[in-house]
Amino acid sequence: MTGRLSRDLDLKPGMRVLDLGSGMGATSVFLAREFGVRVTAADLWVSPDTAADVFASAGVADRIHAIKAEAHALPFARESFDVIVSIDAFEYFGTADSYLPYLVRFLKPGGQLGIATPAMTREVREMGAIPEHIKACVGWEAIAWHTAEWWRFQWDITELVTVTSARVQRDGWRDWLLWARAGREHRPGDADGIGEVLTMLEADRGEYLTFALVTARKR
């Protein structure tokens, strides 16, 4: 997913990148290795010590700094970053009207923002209800799974950024299914509810579920 998103971004060695909602750090490692950028990996649920161990074993500890941070109270100076990326995390904190205006203050002028986030092919508001197989798995949380066009409008209308790309990931549903199947193999016991996610994806067959890849540049 990060690989596909990075095609829509202009990443150069030495750039300062914030990986927001970095989790176990796979995106941070990929960006540091592939593009030679310097990454701040910020996450709420995964401890910075755990993430730092991942970065050390991946041999990129010198290029990635892990911190604990809540997405609405980020501990950075204005214009700290060339790029902010967020993979499979923006849906938890980034859908409020006020969030993009808050976040862009941390980007330098001309800086880039890129997200990959679970998406639907149609807005829940337009359908009038969350499809049953999705509601059975995630309940109301699916109202945050907006279409790529929703994100384009939501960001463009602020006039704080210019959206450079807003698309759904090709085969997004299939990739999500493969990821969930791999997760079940590696985490027996279904601690993370992977079984329910698999049931949802198998019922969906790509009708509604995919990922949105959205990038923008600060004006």
Ligand X SMILES: C[S@@+](CC[C@H](N)C(=O)[O-])C[C@H]1O[C@@H](n2cnc3c(N)ncnc32)[C@H](O)[C@@H]1O
Does residue 70 interact with ligand X by CB under 6 A?
yes
From residue 60, how far is each of 54, 71, 147 by CA, in Å? 9, 24, 35
Are 4 and 213 within 8 A, CB to CB? yes
The reply to whether 99 sits near ligand X by the rule CB under 6 A is: no
- Which 8-state DSSP code applies to residue 24? T
Interface residue with ligand X among 88, 112, 138, 163 (CB under 6 A) is: 88
Q: Is 114 in the site for ligand X (CB under 6 A)?
A: no
**The only residue of 26, 52, 61, 160 in contact with ligand X, by rule CB under 6 A:** 26
Structure tokens at 53: 């161990």
Alpha-carbon distances of 184 from 50, 133, 195, 199, rounded to whole Å: 22, 19, 7, 12
Residue type at position 165: S
Q: Name the segment binding ligand X (CB under 6 A); options: 10-18, 38-46, 144-152, 201-209.
A: 38-46
**Per-residue b or e along 161-199, where b marks 16 or more CB atoms closer than 10 Å to that residue's CB:** bebeebbbbeebbeebbeebeeeeeeeeeeeeebeebbe
The two three-digit tokens of residue 104, written as one number = 């862009």
Under the criterion CB under 6 A, does residue 27 sit at the interface with ligand X? yes
Output 52 or 110, the one with its CB closest to ligand X.
52
Q: In the bound complex, which residue of the shown chain has the CB atom lying closest to ligand X?
A: 23
Could you give the CA distance from residue 64 to residue 38 in angstroms, rounded to a whole number? 6
Residue of the chain from 5, 15, 18, 23 that contacts ligand X (CB under 6 A): 23
Shortest distance in whole angstroms from residue 46 CB to ligand X? 5
Residue 140 or 157 with smaller CB distance to ligand X: 140
**46 touches ligand X (CB under 6 A):** yes
* Residue closer to ligand X, measured from CB, 21 or 111: 21
Q: How far is the CB of 151 from ligand X (least distance, A)?
A: 17
Q: Which is nearer to ligand X, 49 or 159 (CB)?
A: 49
Choose, by CB under 6 A, the member of 4, 8, 33, 44 that binds ligand X.
44
- State the Cα–Cα distance between residues 71 and 75, nearest whole angstrom: 9
Question: Reduced to 3 states, what is the DSSP secondary structure of residue 2?
Answer: helix
Residue numbers at the binding site for ligand X (CB under 6 A):
21-23, 26-27, 43-46, 70-71, 87-89, 92-93
